[in-house]
Amino acid sequence: MEGGLVLLGGGGSSGVSTDESAVSKVEVVSEASSFPAESELELGLGLSLGRSSVGTTGRTKAGTSSWGECGRILTAKDFSSVVSHRTNNGGPSSVAVSETKRAAESISHEGGSPTDVSQVVGWPPIRAYRMNSLVNQAKAPRVEEDKEIGEKDKPKDALKKKLYDSSAVNDKGHLGFVKVNMDGIPIGRKVDLNAHSCYESLALALEDMFLRSANSVGAGMEQVTKPSKLLDGSSELVLTYEDKEGDWMLVGDVPWRMFLSSVRRLRIMRTSEANGLAPRFHQGNERQRIKPI
Amino acid sequence: MQKKMAYSFPDEVLEHVFSFIQSDKDRNAVSMVCKSWYDIERWCRRKIFVGNCYAVNPRIVIRRFPEVRSIELKGKPHFADFNLVPDGWGGYVFPWILEMARAYPWLEEIRLKRMVVTDESLELIAKSFKNFKVLVLFSCEGFSTDGLAAIAASCKNLRELDLRDSEVDDLSGHWLSHFPETYTSLVSLNISCLGSDEVSFSALERLVGRCPNLRTLLLNRAVPLDKIANILRRAPQLVEFGTGTYTAELRPDVFSYLAGAFSSCKELRSLSGFWEAVPAYIPAIYSVCSRLTSLNLSFATIQNPDLIKLVSLCPSLQRLLVLDYIEDSGLEALASSCKDLQELRVFPSDPFGVEPNVSLTEQGLVAISWGCPKLESVLYFCRQMSNAALVTIAQNRPNLTRFRLCIIDPKTVDYLTHEPLDVGFGAIVEHCKDLRRLSLSGLLTDRVFDYIGTYAKKLEMLSVAFAGDSDLGLHHVLSGCESLRKLEIRDCPFGDKALLANAAKLETMRSLWMSSCSVSFGACKLLGQKMPRLNVEVIDERGHPDSRPESCPVDKLYIYRSVAGPRVDMPPFVWTKDEDSSLRLS
């Protein structure tokens, strides 16, 4: 497998890479064969050492995984064609960038996760602690308010307009990892909110994580359109979140983007405990169905 | 005759001599001289460092070293920092605390990194160690302010409480009030990671006011700018200070009060915090700048020219952490004003932007390499690099010991020649003979690994991502890097062959991490079977590896040497050569 999960924005070639080796890198790799072969290694040096032919198979089977990587999985082959164009001559290479953007749009999946930013997990290697601060600082400017303690969305002045223009593209910020705890389970998990574009896919991912055994193959192959029990109140568990003000709310009441900007962490709790929470429960018997965006 | 002399040397004398030997490596060497030295040494070893908590178990440690006063443990692999290790993988400290509570009642110091620490563990620490002095929780998680309250309430001799970068469940800011009024021994407090909006300011001020030995105080974001001055005025002896959120509407009275507070801190040498810093309040720290040796502006949103002006006022600076707002021009200014600079870290302000938002290129780092003769540690995020720049940096700064370069787009080529960056990194390892830590980025072929295997003889830690062409690359590193202890690899085309051919090497290292590479489960099982002193863990959340075709590589692989045997606390998504599920949790 080459390159694994790479920039979603890379390359325009279609289809999942199968047993093609890195042919686009011939001119580089040929240097390798000029080194003396280590006798004890007997590698039979070549471009492709019987490398796995299906790359990240488990994840590409259905194109999605329970972690909700809703885009197509690219491999180095897709990527290398972009690399050869990437000539950062001291500034943005507009050709490569627009190619990147078009390519990204052409492969965007029905899951609809953001395609114009890097989706590689853990890259660039910036610690979660720092990412959180970046996200909070890069949020779109809001109306000037009185300075509240710990208020994270401080108004910014014109000096920083440049900063916001570029990050408006990914105004969700990239750190989407929030903690999820479920009643009765001591160890929490983390979920990447940015890998989801709607409540349904998030709820399904959480169901996979907590309500199904890790051994079931094919977990995560659900269609995104199937309704989630966590959201419609039909199961004994309900999905809640803590917002910026520290209040616990039912998930699903506000538009997805508004949810993203205020959620701090999630909790799956028993319906019986959730009674003090919800606007939704006060609306009589009306059940809101959350429609995917 | 000589034998007789050795035997007649009393133990107490040897113990006294050994007490001057502090470093772990030297202590280990001492213990291997002869059996009697081994015995004497083990009884007087007071400090233990366990680089991988699963390499050994508490019982083995306690059996060998019965009189330990200080322990340091590290848990999860480094890539856990970037969310590559699933939650629940491991690194639980509780079993250690449990055993040590029994065996080391006089334990004074616990330092943990990347471990899961529960409130239960903290409560047990608070209860068990009467002379407890130092608690450092570096990048830990799993605990809440309730656990901290227990520590505050019970540890009468606590000197140091450092929670740096940990994830704490903030249930209440009132844990600080659990320090009794009689408690005055605090020397160092780092709560910068806490998010709590309800830090009790009065409790904090009182605590600071009654601890005359307080040297280090790193506050969290919730502490507003206008509260800092009062805190500083109560602790003018501070050496290291971290502000909270450093923004407020400019008010002359607040400003001058704050500036006065800073200027009264004559011992202040290190500043950090500065979240959301506004330029208007930066001059409040000018009076301390000339004495500053360490400055962390990596959360500060100030840009040039304010940033350049600030940095130019700090000629004694040895350590600078900053965002790329400093740009090449700021680094040039830094290079001319800070001749004592030893460590530089430049972080990206907008890592996911498609286009650069600042003018920070390889030129900034080159300028630093020209201007700062003492530079030895670099962490640099940028978007373009050239072999020529790297060669220049290497030639200018052969004294580099840590060089971590992150070119933000994977596989970026040399922007001048469009070639891979093999030659540039090759120059780094060739010239910097004492290089201990290296992180690679950009487009790299097997050639760079050949250079590394050939030259990087002192290299202890190597981080590789999106690089290489074949197993030969991995083989170069494993066969050539004599001092290698930690190797972490992601998204590289390395497979079974190099791994199996260098199996013995793995026992000389602390650990190897490989994720999104081309290693098969069969090879992992084979390795685990052939090397009983290695734990070979396949971390794969897609279900049992045998449920996928033979050719499907494992998702993540973590191999580490251990004398403790296989773990007993593995979660369901970790697979080893033993498919015995009775070894599992749940």
Own/partner long-range contacts of A226-229 (Cβ < 8 Å, ≥24 apart): A226/A200, A227/A200, A227/A289, A228/A199, A228/A200, A228/A203, A228/A204, A229/A203
pLDDT recorded at residue B5: 53
Q: Is A91 on the interface with B (CB under 8 A)?
A: yes
Assess contact for B226 and B205: CB atoms under 8 A. Answer: no
Measured distance CA(A176)–CA(A191) in Å, rounded: 7
Buried b (16+ CB within 10 A) or exposed e, B324-358: bbbbbbbbbbbbebbeebbbbbbbbbbbbbbebbb
Contact B548 A57 (CB under 8 A): yes
Kindly list the structural domains of chain B, giving each domain's residue range(s) and its CATH number in brackets, ordered by start: 11-45 (1.20.1280.50)
Q: Which of B188, B135, B142, B190 is nearest to B165 (CA)?
A: B190
pLDDT recorded at residue B485: 98
Question: Number of residue pairs across A and B with CB atoms under 8 Å?
Answer: 266
Least confident of A108-117, B206-215, B564-573: A108-117
Whether B191 has a pLDDT exceeding 90, the answer reads yes
Structure letter (DSSP) for residue B524: H
Q: Which of B172, B164, B122 is nearest to B143 (CA)?
A: B122
Contact B352 A129 (CB under 8 A): no
Place of tokens 């201007």: B371
Which strands sit side by side in the sheet containing A185-192, from one edge to the other? A185-192, A177-182, A263-270, A237-243, A248-250
Nearest-neighbour CA in chain A from B415: distance (Å): 5
What are the helix (H) ranges across A75-183?
76-83, 94-106, 128-137, 161-167
Assess contact for B287 and B263: CB atoms under 8 A. Answer: yes
Residue in chain B nearest A245 by alpha carbon: B197
Whether A287 has a pLDDT exceeding 80, the answer reads no
Residue scoring higher pLDDT (B199 or A143): B199
Kindly list the structural domains of chain A, giving each domain's residue range(s) and its CATH number in brackets, ordered by start: 177-214+232-270 (3.10.20.90)
Chain A CB contacts of B497 under 8 Å are: 41, 43, 49
- Arithmetic mean of pLDDT, B459-473: 97
Q: Which of A97, A122, A167 lies at the smallest CB-CB distance from B82? A: A122
Contact B354 A2 (CB under 8 A): no
Percent of chain B residues past pLDDT 90, beyond the cut: 88
Chain B CB contacts of A134 under 8 Å are: 349-351
Contact A133 B275 (CB under 8 A): yes
pLDDT recorded at residue A137: 59
Q: Which of A43, A129, A163 lies at the smallest CB-CB distance from B357? A: A163
Q: Is A41 on the interface with B (CB under 8 A)?
A: yes
pLDDT recorded at residue A157: 38
Helix B327-337 and helix B362-371, axial crossing angle in degrees, nearest 10: 0
- Arithmetic mean of pLDDT, B328-351: 96
Residue scoring higher pLDDT (A182 or B266): B266
Residue scoring higher pLDDT (B6 or A142): B6
Rounded alpha-carbon distances, angstroms, from residue B28 to A129, B17, B300: 35, 15, 43
Whether A13 has a pLDDT exceeding 60, the answer reads no
Please compute, for residue B389, the number of CA atoms within 13 A of its CA located in the half-sphere on the CB side.
Answer: 19
Residue B403 has phi, psi (to 5 degrees) of -135, 110
Whether B391 has a pLDDT exceeding 70, the answer reads yes
pLDDT recorded at residue B518: 95
Q: Would the pTM count as exceeding 0.80?
A: no
Tens of pLDDT, residues A78-104:
444 333 333 333 333 333 333 333 333
Contact A149 B518 (CB under 8 A): no
Q: Identify the band that residue A156 occupies on the pLDDT scale cut at 50, 70 and 90.
A: very low
Residue in chain A nearest B167 by alpha carbon: A129
Residue scoring higher pLDDT (A16 or A227): A227
pLDDT recorded at residue A230: 67
Chain B CB contacts of A127 under 8 Å are: 81-82, 139, 165
Whether B163 has a pLDDT exceeding 70, the answer reads yes
Q: Is B193 on the interface with A (CB under 8 A)?
A: yes
Chain B CB contacts of A97 under 8 Å are: 354-355
Chain A CB contacts of B517 under 8 Å are: 1, 4
Contact B475 A125 (CB under 8 A): no
Q: Which helix or strand (DSSP H or E) is residue B452 part of?
A: helix B446-455
CA angle B79–B80–B84, rounded 5-degree value: 75
Q: Which of B410, B471, B547 lies at the smallest CB-CB distance from A6? A: B410
Tens of pLDDT, residues B406-443:
999 999 999 999 999 999 999 999 999 999 999 999 99
Q: Which of B355, B299, B171, B330 is nearest to A154 (CA)?
A: B299
Whether A7 has a pLDDT exceeding 50, the answer reads no
Tens of pLDDT, residues B275-315:
999 999 999 999 999 999 999 999 999 999 999 999 999 99
Q: Identify the band that residue B578 occupies on the pLDDT scale cut at 50, 70 and 90.
A: confident
Place of tokens 């487009």: B443
Other beta carbons within 10 Å of A255: 9
Residue B121, both tokens = 């563990």
Q: Is B355 on the interface with A (CB under 8 A)?
A: yes
Tens of pLDDT, residues B475-522:
999 999 999 999 999 999 999 999 999 999 999 999 999 999 999 999
Whether B363 has a pLDDT exceeding 90, the answer reads yes
Please compute, for residue A157, the number of CA atoms within 13 A of its CA located in the half-sphere on the CB side.
Answer: 12
Residue scoring higher pLDDT (A168 or B375): B375
What mean pLDDT is reported for chain B? 94
Classify burial at B551, counting beta carbons within 10 Å of its beta carbon; exposed 0-12, middle 13-18, buried 19 or more.
middle
Residue in chain B nearest A39 by alpha carbon: B501
Q: Which of A45, A80, A118 lies at the smallest CB-CB distance from B472? A: A45
Residues 383-402 of B with CB under 8 A from A: 383-384
Measured distance CA(A51)–CA(A22) in Å, rounded: 11
CA angle A182–A184–A190, rounded 5-degree value: 30
Q: Which residues lie below 8 Å from residue B517, measured CB to CB, with a gap of 6+? A: A1, A4, B489, B490, B491, B492, B493, B494, B495, B553, B557
pLDDT recorded at residue B279: 94
Whether A71 has a pLDDT exceeding 50, the answer reads no
